[in-house]
Every structure is written in structure tokens, then in C-alpha cells.
Structure 1
């Protein structure tokens, strides 16, 4: 899930498409928690709604800034599904979205008590994200 978002950033896919990929990755991470914990599959796409429904079962809560970023990503997903010339996207939006993606992934990983191997893979991806940001 993270891999797709990282690759999209590395090969220079447009900002709207990167945001869509990041939103999808966050959505899949949250839905995977729901499937593992409750055995049900959700049909909603709004990450904030999914997070609100499971936050009491997570080991901790996300930061307020991350919560508002989820709301922004959901609004972007709903309103700007098909980008047009007049839409405004910035690199800061991508950075914010990546930050939320990493934070949500870490939170779910901690709550699911994943294996050490899975934790190492996640840490490696997070380090790669941090490394890429330092290159700029």
C-alpha cells in the first residue's frame, strides 16, 4: 500500500493522482484493520468516517492535524475525483498526505501487534520516505 504511493512520488505522477493513491492506501490500511478485528468489509471510502468508527479500538489516537488531513483527503477524493485545469494542488499537500499515511500505518500496525518482520518492512518504508524528503 505504501509502495504504490512512494512509487507515484518517485516517478513524478501528477499531484491529484498522488493524492488519490495516498487516500486509497490509507483507506485500505484502515479497512484491513476492520476486516482483521471485526471480520466485516466496509463499502465506505471516507477515511475519516472509518477512523472515527474504530478509534476506540486502536491503541492510541492520531494527532489533530492528521485528523484534519484525513478530512481534507476525503473532501479531495469526493469533490475533485476528476482533476481539471483550475484545481490547485501543492507539494505541501503531498507531504501532509504522506505524513498522515505513515502515521496511520504505524498506529494500525501497533494496534494489530504485527510480527517483527512486518514491523521491519514498515520501518524500512518509513525510513525511505524520510530519506527521499531530505534529498530536496
Structure 2
């Protein structure tokens, strides 16, 4: 038999921990380190490999106008990152519904956008007795 080939639609498959970028945006720079550590720990607990942490000010600036977010999206586009972790939807200046819409866009591109907190949790259905 020939060597095994791993590909999906002509693209090579990934093996090992998924490359992850943590994105922090808070005008209070004193919170950057704590948020980055919290998000990085969240990723590591899921066996994701944090390859970069991007932190910037600019909460009042539209996400598409932020240089740090542009950098994160570039990393996703060229394959340096598959997952983006943010502390909460507000880090992107979004409410929950807008954040969930952006998550759908990420999924369509075979990427993942995750908020550590600030999203509703879906509880398991109650068991009938």
C-alpha cells in the first residue's frame, strides 16, 4: 500500500492542538493581562494551542476599524489560527445576537469564535419522571 493521505477537498488536514488567538479589547489597559490569562487558560483547558494574544484599546471603535482585530482576521484567513477566543461579546462591541451572527460567519469559514462569558448557556432538558 502507498502512504496514507490526509486531505479534505484537496486541503491538508490538521493534526494536534488547534492554533488559537486570544483577542482582548478594553480601554482599561490594566485589565488586558488578566483577561488574556483567563482566555488563554480557557483555551488550554480545551487543548487548544494559543499562538498569539492580541490586545488593544478601542472599545468605542467599530470592530472592523480596529488594527488588532484586522490582525486576528488575517491570522484566520491565512491559517495561522483556527479559533479566536474573546472574554465576552462586548470585547467586539457587540450584543449577544450580533456576536452569534458573527459566530455563524466563522463557522461558514470553518473557523471558531468563542466568548469565555457573556453568552446564554443552554441547559439540558429537564428529565420527566
Larger Rg: 2
Q: TM (normalized to structure 1)?
A: 0.30
